[in-house]
Amino acid sequence: MQIYFISTNDSSRSKMAEGFAKVILPTSWIIKSAGVSADKISPYAIQVMSEVGIDIAEEPSQSIDDTTLTNSDVVVSLSRDAKSKTLALPTSVQAVHWPLNDPAMATGSEKQKVAAFREIRDEIKQYVTNIRDEYRQ
The DSSP letter of residue 68 is: H
13 in Cβ contact with 41 (< 8 Å): no
Strand (E) or helix (H) holding 127: helix 110-136
User: What's the pLDDT score for residue 136?
Assistant: 77
User: What's the pLDDT score for residue 137?
Assistant: 57
User: What's the pLDDT score for residue 101?
Assistant: 92
Q: How would you list the strands of the sheet with 74-77, edge to edge?
A: 30-35, 2-7, 74-77, 94-97
Strand (E) or helix (H) holding 2: strand 2-7
Strand (E) or helix (H) holding 45: helix 43-50
Model confidence, pTM: 0.94
Q: Low-confidence residues of the chain, pLDDT below 70?
A: 137
27-51 pLDDT, tens digit per residue, is 999 999 999 998 899 999 999 999 9
Count CB neighbours of 83 within 10 A: 19
The CA distance from 8 to 11, in Å, is 8
Q: Is 99 exposed, middle or buried (0-12, 13-18, 19+ CB in 10 A)?
A: exposed
